[in-house]
Structure 1
């Protein structure tokens, strides 16, 4: 049994519990000393120090990886563009009349006429350059190679833009700050902005564009050789097909075997999108059997702002149609079936919310730091710290900081709606109870830690 001793003092506007000085018995507590009870979210509180270190390490690893990827793409795109340009310079001539061939034919006809060897027939066979029409194969060849060259130049151009965006983000985050909480708000705002504007998606797609440029170039090379030497063209086409097959397999296999080393950001993005779409479809289907009045997939509430024409003409009819189907299902399906579908709906809805948050991230949408937006950004920062860090100590610090807020705080209201946060809180509490019920003689937690955990649990729920 754990007995918690504390003194309660009245500070004029609220009661504040005080505890004996906490023992710094772990490396984590020595690095991040606990805050006074009730000051866990102050301007320079421990939670913001932990957040700054965790976010800095996360950003350093992420941005370094992006910069290395973009550097490699820039070098390869430059070399590939030079090679493709050399071929394009020769291939585009196939789209123009060959005046040299026409002049050579005319000279040959003139010389043959002197010898009286049928030059008139040869002169009549000469084609007027103004009537020249490119061959279909020449058009395909130049279209493929020009597309390949344009894709490589687009990749190089976007690499430069993305490197500028990364540098701008780094300068914004590393700018001077008046307090650790201010830094956390600023970093959360700009980091979520990168996610909102799909910067990671652009970085992941650029290699795909360059791969497409390479395959187009190889296809055009086989097409060029086909009119010159069909055997060599068939060999180049076979090698290109084998390479394309290997490339497709390297993308598909990570879906089936997560341990596959060929995993890239492309399979991860595709997997998340497919998973999100699948959950969305199952959630809408299961939603039709839900008895209670719950938020609908196409619902609207006054808190979302004024009702738009799209909501009035599209979402309202769909909402009423779903309600009508629900009422009809009550009489068509047994109660046990509808109850099972209701349970499956809530499970799918929670999974859908968690997957969407993991895929799209948080979405602050105002630059002004008003009170409402500041609370929202604070909630996003605490949520990121709790749900992202693999360290239980970091999760505990973020969770304990919630308890210093009032239960009706807008920050807490935002946190209550995050299903991924609730899962992390359950993990934190499940980790706390075994520690309290164990018979270990060495106590790695203090009375204030237990009070902070319970206070945060009461605040969230």
Structure 2
């Protein structure tokens, strides 16, 4: 199981209320709409550029051919000269005159002038290159028409939205990979080369004929060449200069190479301890970009009937970059919807081994970092969002926190620390009593359940990150806690350093989202800062927000069961019915030889002391055991789901003193839904008292 399988905290499209558009489908639909205009533009540019090349190539090839016809005669013996020499010889014989025999006749071999050979070679090369450019231009036009036809065929094929999006990504990435845009530029570069070859051959052809004409032609060609070189060099020193030529990238590569060599030399001198003047120590400051990499276009259409994960990190990065470059996200709701779509895409459509790379890309995205900073500094941004948008932001913050805290300390940068601070602040702002947990979200039990499941995994992740030791510095986060949320427990240093994020998530003063309304159980005043988790034991180890990690892990699982039990059945079943939600949300994805652990086997990772297992159970736990029939409805959701939660309750029951429990589950906890046991009542139902010391009632 992948380390990011828990990302799918939203389930499938069935969890989207009727009348609302699925954010993931909305993302792909918007992507295709934005790319349609760009596809038309690219194909039009290819066709327009090659049309101009064909026109110029036709005129230029005709000019070169005229000079070739005239110049190739110098490569062989002139038949006219031979005729004149023979006539002279015949006249001399007739007059019996002794005349020297012409060398042209005596010599059996003919050597063409070197200048003529070179000039003709240049002209023939120029002619062949120009004809090759014409052929390539016609091919590019054909490829452009094929590209337009492939893009248009998506409206004719029997494809759904996701298949069209996948095919578009593969086609567009193929165009970029195989350098369709660069091929047009290569044709232009070859045409420039053919012009230079023709000019060189022209000068060599003129000098033997007439030096005056040759020098005038050289002067004109020199001026044109100087202007061409200046136009090629200017963009290297000023990136805003539009006068780019094919020579620009060659010169930029040379300058880049010299700059790299100079920096290597400077580092070597510094390493050797050389004392050089400041002007000599300064490395070249010209910032030159390397030349374009001539990449190269595989076009193959696929029908994706199965929506199994097939995308890789490069596909995810490509789709997101193209979407962000064409779409302007203004409102917070639009950005939250995008985050929701991205998380679902990573979990449902990206291959497991590529998911960490996708999350890393999101962590490095400057636009998202800026928005997270704004949300962390001003909670009103998230407070005004709809419930679904708030949950999307909550999920995104949890995912980034989990990914960033997996990074080794040696690889953690200052930007990572700042981003962790912002994500933690957003998390506390959303789940806090004075944050963005507004009336709309309080009444939306479906969104509340989704958020609670995300916090369940987040809390377990924090516990397991350092083997259950909450005193390690991994848990310390530089958080900005609102001043109005201070309590006596966190009054010292609460504004600059909130302390342990796990403790804050367990404190009812900062986390009202996890508080469960258990009928018949009262609660202690919230100002005292008790734990928001459902306690397993009737002792401070489970009622304190900073109790032992093993007890926190047990209370975390018990709180999840309470959420499942007391959430309206319809909202709960919609979420749990998804094939992606349950195993990915409720499985502990540990990077160990044990592999991923099911949530009911929490005790395999957090070992509780034997003496702690004999502590009396809390009233809340006894009430949950008494009302376990509320979980029977899970049998209709999925096979084995009900048995899994019952198994979790048995495991928790094995860690308390059952002698004082009026109701209990028979048997002992195990691994799997196959252990079928029955619940029996030994005594009368538990009668909770109204004491705020040992029992409590939490409200949402």
**TM superposition score category, shorter chain reference:** 0.5 to 0.7
Q: 1:247 aligns with which of 224, 228, 247?
A: 228
Determine the C-alpha separation between the residues in 1 that align with 2:117 and 2:224.
Answer: 25
- 1:121-174 deviation digits (Å, cap 9, x = unpaired): 1x3434357511211111101101001101101111111112222221221111
Structural mapping, 1:358-369, within 5 Å: none
Q: Is 2:34 aligned against 1:54?
A: yes
Q: Which residue of 2 aligns with 1:120?
A: 99
Q: Which residue of 1 aligns with 2:204?
A: 223
Q: Contact 1:399–1:425 at 8 Å: present in 2 too?
A: no
Name which of structure 1's ranges 237-246 and 77-86 shifts more when overlaid on structure 2.
Answer: 237-246
Q: Contact 1:145–1:216 at 8 Å: present in 2 too?
A: yes
Q: Which residue of 1 aligns with 2:391?
A: 451
Q: 1:259 aligns with which of 240, 246, 254?
A: 240
Q: 1:434 aligns with which of 368, 374, 384?
A: 374
Q: 2:90 aligns with which of 103, 110, 129?
A: 110
Q: 2:311 aligns with which of 375, 392, 395?
A: 375
Q: Which residue of 2 aligns with 1:40?
A: 23
RMSD between superposed Cα atoms in Å: 4.6
- TM superposition shift of 1:412: 7.1
Q: Which residue of 2 aligns with 1:181?
A: 162
Equivalent pairs counted in the alignment come to 364
Q: TM-score, normalised by structure 2?
A: 0.44
Structure 2 residue runs of 5 or longer lacking an equivalent are 1-8, 274-288, 404-700
- TM superposition shift of 1:453: 3.4
Relative to its length, the structure with more helix (as a share) is 1
Structure 1 residue runs of 5 or longer lacking an equivalent are 1-9, 22-33, 287-328, 334-354
Q: Contact 1:173–1:183 at 8 Å: present in 2 too?
A: no
Q: Contact 1:81–1:152 at 8 Å: present in 2 too?
A: yes
Distance 1:173 1:409, change over 3 A: closer
Q: Which residue of 2 aligns with 1:385?
A: 322
Secondary structure at 2:111 match in 1: coil
Q: 2:150 aligns with which of 144, 154, 172?
A: 172
- TM superposition shift of 1:385: 3.1
Which structure is richer in relative contact order (CA contacts within 8 A, separation 6 or more)?
1
Determine the C-alpha separation between the residues in 2 that align with 1:451 and 1:280.
Answer: 52
Determine the C-alpha separation between the residues in 1 that align with 2:250 and 2:172.
Answer: 18
Secondary structure at 1:374 match in 2: coil
Q: Which residue of 2 aligns with 1:326?
A: none
Secondary structure at 1:234 match in 2: helix
Distance 1:411 1:58, change over 3 A: farther
Q: Which residue of 1 aligns with 2:191?
A: 210
Q: 2:138 aligns with which of 155, 160, 174?
A: 160
Determine the C-alpha separation between the residues in 1 that align with 2:327 and 2:251.
Answer: 25
Q: 2:74 aligns with which of 90, 94, 103?
A: 94
Determine the C-alpha separation between the residues in 1 that align with 2:294 and 2:367.
Answer: 23
Q: Which residue of 2 aligns with 1:301?
A: none
- TM superposition shift of 1:392: 3.1
Greater C-alpha Rg: 2
Determine the C-alpha separation between the residues in 2 that align with 1:379 and 1:79.
Answer: 46
Determine the C-alpha separation between the residues in 2 that align with 1:104 and 1:431.
Answer: 90
Name which of structure 1's ranges 371-380 and 242-251 shifts more when overlaid on structure 2.
Answer: 371-380
Determine the C-alpha separation between the residues in 2 that align with 1:267 and 1:16.
Answer: 55
Q: Which residue of 2 aligns with 1:403?
A: 343
Q: Which residue of 2 aligns with 1:135?
A: 113
